[in-house]
Structure 1
Amino acid sequence: MNKSRIGVVGIPGKWSTEVLADRLEAQTGFRAVFDMKDVELRLDSNKLMCNGFDLTQLDGLVVKKISEIYAPGTEDRIHMLAHLEAVGVPVFSPTQSMSKLINRLSGTLVLQQGGIPMPKTRVTECSQRAFDAIREFGSAILKPLYSTKARGMLILGQKDSDEEVKSQLEEYRQTNSIFYIQQALDLKGRDLGMVFLGGEYLCTYARVAEAGAWNTTIQSGGRYELFEPGAELIELGHRAQACFNLSFTTVDIALTDEGPVVFEVSAFGGFKGALDGCGVDAASAYANYILAEVANCRESDRGAVNDH
């Protein structure tokens, strides 16, 4: 049995967190799940503690879920985990890679600079310019900079009067300092999750919306189905995820009349779509990948010691 001690950062009791811990435990006999709200960084002793356990003693740490809901404080949690990397504990995905994707605007800019096709997007603090963009797009989605699974998103369209749009913008502004506005596209009730492990393509599932729902999330009644993409679509997903150097991720892609577009790249990726839609145990594949990478790190360290 592999004796590596790999910890999992996640939400205790949540399926995706527990199944990854299960897969790692099956191969190593070691199990440790850490909730970031319980973690303490002790800079005076160079330790990262959680309920009496020093995370700097791990052979590796995988981040499945760093917080239940994204917020600016989520970025602070990643900064704390960067301390582990500084003392030599591998983190999956690397903290620098994850940090680019907590804030929606940051991730969007990386994709834009990488030449990845995306829906038309406007970002502004000005209510009038936000109103003008919505009217230009015809139908638009307001997306909070910190959110996942369509939480907090608001769709405004042609059926809304000018007064209704302005009123909703002002209400939205009460909890959001900036307007991130994306043109609403005709997804024909479906978008795709393309899964990558260590930069290599694993599988693709479709999220199919429930009748009447404007988004395809499972929380809104959507379901998973198998999807077989062509080589060009896989290449698009590969280019999108390559902008971030993630250990495991899902690229959200939509097929439109104007061609495929990328909505976002996930900082952590999900296991459920791969399992239910494609029959692929992504958690097991990820565990194997992590253990192989940790073994490679050990070999590299031995080589460096021998060189001296």
Structure 2
Amino acid sequence: MTDTRIAIVGIPGKWSTEVLADALEQRTGYRRVIDMADVELDLTHNRLLHKGDDLCKLDGLIVKKISAEYSPGTLDRLEMLRTAQSRGVQVFSDPEKMLRLIDRLSCTVTLRNAGIPMPDTCVTESPAAALAAVKQYGEAVFKPLFSSKARGMCVISAEQDDARIAASIEQFQRNNPMLYIQRKVELSGRDLGMVFLGGEYLGTYARVSQSNSWNTTINSGGRYEPYTPDDALIDLARRAQAPFGLDFTTVDVALTDTGPIVFEVSAFGGFKGALEGAGIDAAALYTDYVLKKLGR
């Protein structure tokens, strides 16, 4: 036990948040889970308050989950954490680095600028350009810029006539003015989560579809399995996460007939997949990593 006070920013009651809080409490004797909905930023006095306590007096903050679902408001929550950081509280991962991952387009542009292979992608506000992309791709996945676990995504097929394609695009664009469109790739019912801590590779798990769903997410009925990648695949994932400089992350990779592609780098990483699919106790390893960084 130590007198170190590190709090978890997460979703109270959610498994990954609570197991991380458990690991911290076991090592430090201190437990605090912070829902950002309950936080007040007092810029007059440069304080970040949670239930009357100034979080700027803590030794550290670990961001396990900033909100239940991604939205532009998620960016605001990360901005609030920068106040604690400016007053000397170490935040894991750095809020400015996580900001680049919440917006799907920001993540994609960074990956492509680094030369990371990704699905063919078109980003536009033009319905005509979107229709042309669907016809070029054959099948296209339309993705909200702020979402996780495939929420809000839809597949539009070029097998429909132009009028029906245009109607589907119009419906999607009502909630998504900027159209982010990717060629639908054949996943063979499996994709990978490759886990990194402080830039070092820990292991890989597979998400395997158990239904006819086009995606493999656990929300759509998928399950986790072990997977052993080769060195080239590990190197690809390492290069994908490197530009973001996160303390803990998961790189989502798919194996296709033309080679591996990267879908995204996660701002927070998946604890359950790491444990159930790869036998990695991410909560314990992350806690030890943070304590070492803090010199405790």
- Per the normalisation by structure 1, the TM-score is 0.95
Instruction: Let me know the Cα RMSD of the aligned residues.
Output: 0.9
Given that residues 138 and 159 in structure 2 are in contact (C-alpha distance below 8 angstroms), is that contact kept between their aligned partners in structure 1?
no
Note the C-alpha offset of 1:161: 2.9
Query: Tell me, what secondary structure is at the counterpart of 1:267?
Result: coil
Matches within 5 A, 1:219-230: 219-230=219-230
Matches within 5 A, 1:269-308: 269-295=269-295
2:21 equivalent to 1:15? no
Query: Tell me, what secondary structure is at the counterpart of 1:280?
Result: coil
Query: Tell me, what secondary structure is at the counterpart of 1:287?
Result: helix
Query: Matches of 1:152 and 1:291 in 2, distance apart?
Result: 37
Note the C-alpha offset of 1:163: 2.2
Note the C-alpha offset of 1:211: 2.6
Structure 2 alignment gaps of length 5 or more: none
Matches within 5 A, 1:62-81: 62-81=62-81
Identity across aligned pairs (percent)? 56
Structure 1 residues 14-36: Cα deviation after superposition (integer angstroms, max 9, x where no partner): 00111100000000000000001
Query: Tell me, what secondary structure is at the counterpart of 1:78?
Result: helix
**Which residue number corresponds to residue 110 of structure 2?**
110
**Which residue number corresponds to residue 184 of structure 1?**
184
Structure 1 residues 154-198: Cα deviation after superposition (integer angstroms, max 9, x where no partner): 011244332221111111111111100000001111000000001
Query: Matches of 2:187 and 2:70 in 1, distance apart?
Result: 25
Given that residues 71 and 146 in structure 2 are in contact (C-alpha distance below 8 angstroms), is that contact kept between their aligned partners in structure 1?
yes
Query: Matches of 2:158 and 2:224 in 1, distance apart?
Result: 30
**Which residue number corresponds to residue 205 of structure 1?**
205
Given that residues 158 and 165 in structure 2 are in contact (C-alpha distance below 8 angstroms), is that contact kept between their aligned partners in structure 1?
no
Note the C-alpha offset of 1:279: 1.4
Structure 1 residues 257-308: Cα deviation after superposition (integer angstroms, max 9, x where no partner): 1100000000000100011111111111011111111117xxxxxxxxxxxx
**Which residue number corresponds to residue 121 of structure 2?**
121
Count of residue correspondences: 296
2:46 equivalent to 1:53? no
Query: Tell me, what secondary structure is at the counterpart of 2:195?
Result: strand
**Which residue number corresponds to residue 101 of structure 1?**
101
Query: Tell me, what secondary structure is at the counterpart of 2:295?
Result: helix
Task: Look up the equivalent residue of 2:51 and give its one-letter code.
Answer: N
- Following TM superposition, where does structure 1 have runs of at least 4 consecutive aligned residues deviating by more than 3 angstroms? none
Query: Tell me, what secondary structure is at the counterpart of 1:83?
Result: helix
Query: Matches of 1:181 and 1:82 in 2, distance apart?
Result: 32
Query: Matches of 2:159 and 2:187 in 1, distance apart?
Result: 19
Structure 1 residues 32-79: Cα deviation after superposition (integer angstroms, max 9, x where no partner): 000011110111222100112210011000000001111111111111
Query: Tell me, what secondary structure is at the counterpart of 1:202?
Result: strand
Query: Matches of 1:45 and 1:119 in 2, distance apart?
Result: 47
Task: Look up the equivalent residue of 1:184 and give its one-letter code.
Answer: K
Query: Matches of 2:243 and 2:4 in 1, distance apart?
Result: 30
Query: Matches of 1:135 and 1:142 in 2, distance apart?
Result: 13
**Which residue number corresponds to residue 34 of structure 1?**
34
Note the C-alpha offset of 1:4: 1.1
- Per the normalisation by structure 2, the TM-score is 0.98
Q: Which region of structure 1 is more displaced relative to structure 2, 156-165 or 109-118? A: 156-165
Query: Matches of 2:161 and 2:293 in 1, distance apart?
Result: 55
Query: Tell me, what secondary structure is at the counterpart of 2:202?
Result: strand
